[in-house]
């Protein structure tokens, strides 16, 4: 068996091999997955010092991607925190862009270095464009004639990356969620959850089952022939504070938009003649609910002379896409020897679709 060598090239960090800048940039491109990003959640963060005119850029590194493979990607490291002063001027609010920008003679520039730059906008105008071979860090909205004394709006534009290609960011607070690159994953230590970035926003991958299970032990359901909301007084589990008991409404926030499975059982006390029914209703938080027939009627029984069922139940699967949807269980009866009703209501998050 023979081995044929087609070509050779310098191996990195072996012996006295020397490498051109372009070759090393290609190594950066390979190691960082060709992703423009800062190193971690704390790297190159722009923050105002109280309400003063001084803003600080923290230490850290970044990768600035190039347009073609032949150039490779750039790595820049700020090893000392830097202060920047902002002052307003006449003519309206000015939006300034803070960025890290690379200059390279291979690109036709006159020098080889990176620069921390502030690109000032036009008073009353929009956000300045990010230059080529630069990574945006933040924008600062500077009001007319501002000279300190108030907190300014700082919009974080940093994209964070995993510690290595295919890795997962660890120890990130769920309250601090900067932009990332599509396909990145992160673990939120404070909530024990895993998220992925879809190119526009962080989406949740439940690290444990998400949902709630509630019971009502003695809720009063009238016999007026109208729908009454069931009052739940006990929670068997509630992973994300979907409802405060005693309460009637479970609220599904935008964090958990996606496919849900709901199941409920309403058990009336004693048999009766007439009509009994149970159902589930969804609406948007803050809107009024006028009663009426619920969206999902889980079961109903009608008998003018004989007794009707004491237990009604149903299961539904619903794709919730509207933020802060409220979910409730309601019951209905026209007669009954007893007015109390026991109930169980369970909601389980199945995931985004």
Question: Mean per-residue pLDDT for 126-143?
Answer: 93
What residues make up the domain containing 283? 211-351
Q: Which of 208, 238, 268 corresponds to the end of one domain?
A: 208
pLDDT tens per residue across span 200-218: 778 777 566 789 999 988 7
- Identify the top-confidence range among 67-71, 196-200, 212-216: 212-216
Judge whether residue 230 has pLDDT over 90: no
253 and 230 in a common domain? yes
pLDDT tens per residue across span 149-184: 999 999 999 887 655 555 677 655 666 666 677 777
The sheet with strand 211-220 has its strands ordered as 234-238, 211-220, 340-351, 258-268, 311-320
Residue 28: its H or E element: helix 21-31
Q: Which pair of tokens denotes residue 267?
A: 């058990």
116 and 150 in a common domain? yes
The answer to pTM > 0.85 is no
310 and 265 in a common domain? yes
201 and 105 in a common domain? no
CA 277, CA 296: separation in Å to the nearest integer? 11
- Find the CATH number of the domain harbouring 335: 2.60.120.40
**Quick one: residue 351, left, alpha or beta (phi over 0 = left, psi -120 to 50 = alpha)?**
left
User: Lowest mean pLDDT: which of 94-108, 128-142, 181-195, 254-268?
Assistant: 181-195
Residue 8's pLDDT band (boundaries 50, 70, 90)? very low
Q: Within 10 A of 82 (CB to CB), how many other CB atoms are there?
A: 14
- Residue 15 domain flag: no
Mean per-residue pLDDT over the chain, rounded: 78
Torsion of CA 144, 149, 154, 160, to 10 degrees: 150
The β-bridge relationship of strands 185-188 and 168-172 is: parallel
154 and 31 in a common domain? yes
Judge whether residue 14 has pLDDT over 70: no
Judge whether residue 20 has pLDDT over 50: yes
303 and 267 in a common domain? yes
- Find the CATH number of the domain harbouring 187: 2.10.10
User: Lowest mean pLDDT: which of 133-142, 160-169, 217-226, 282-291?
Assistant: 282-291
Q: For the chain, give the number of residues.
A: 353
- Residue 6 domain flag: no
Beta bridge partners of 327: 250, 282
pLDDT of residue 4: 39
Q: What are the two backbone dihedrals, phi and then psi, of residue 27, each rounded to the nearest 5 degrees?
A: -65, -40
């Amino acid at each position: 068996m023979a081995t044929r060598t087609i070509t050779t090239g310098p191996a990195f960090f072996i012996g006295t091999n020397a490498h051109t800048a372009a070759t090393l940039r290609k190594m950066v491109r390979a190691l960082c997955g060709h992703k423009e990003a800062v190193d971690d959640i704390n790297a190159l963060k722009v923050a105002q010092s109280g309400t003063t005119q001084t803003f600080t850029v923290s230490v850290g590194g970044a990768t600035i991607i190039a347009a073609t493979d032949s150039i490779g990607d750039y790595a820049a490291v700020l090893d000392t925190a830097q202060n920047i002063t902002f002052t307003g001027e006449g003519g309206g609010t000015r939006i300034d862009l803070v960025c890290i920008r690379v200059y390279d003679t291979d690109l036709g520039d006159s020098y080889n270095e990176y620069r921390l730059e502030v690109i000032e906008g036009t008073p009353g105008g929009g956000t300045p464009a990010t230059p080529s071979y630069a990574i945006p860090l933040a924008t600062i909205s500077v009001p007319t004639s501002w000279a300190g004394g108030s907190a300014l709006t700082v919009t974080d534009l940093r994209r964070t990356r995993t510690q290595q290609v295919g890795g997962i960011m660890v120890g990130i607070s769920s309250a601090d969620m900067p932009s990332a690159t599509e396909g990145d994953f992160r673990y939120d230590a404070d909530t024990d959850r895993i998220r992925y970035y879809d190119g526009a926003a962080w989406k949740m991958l439940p690290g444990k089952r998400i949902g709630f299970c509630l019971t009502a032990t003695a809720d009063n359901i009238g016999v007026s022939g109208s729908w009454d909301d069931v009052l739940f007084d006990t929670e068997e589990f509630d992973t994300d504070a979907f409802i405060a008991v005693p309460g009637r409404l479970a609220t599904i926030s935008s964090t958990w938009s996606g496919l849900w499975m709901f199941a409920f059982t309403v058990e009336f006390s004693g048999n009766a003649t007439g009509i009994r029914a149970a159902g589930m209703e969804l609406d948007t938080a803050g809107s009024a609910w006028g009663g009426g027939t619920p969206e999902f009627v889980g079961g109903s029984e009608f008998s003018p002379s004989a007794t009707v069922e004491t237990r009604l139940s149903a299961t539904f699967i619903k794709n919730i896409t509207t933020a802060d949807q409220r979910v409730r269980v309601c019951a209905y009866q026209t007669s009954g020897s007893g007015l109390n009703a026991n109930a169980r209501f369970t909601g389980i998050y199945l995931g985004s679709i």
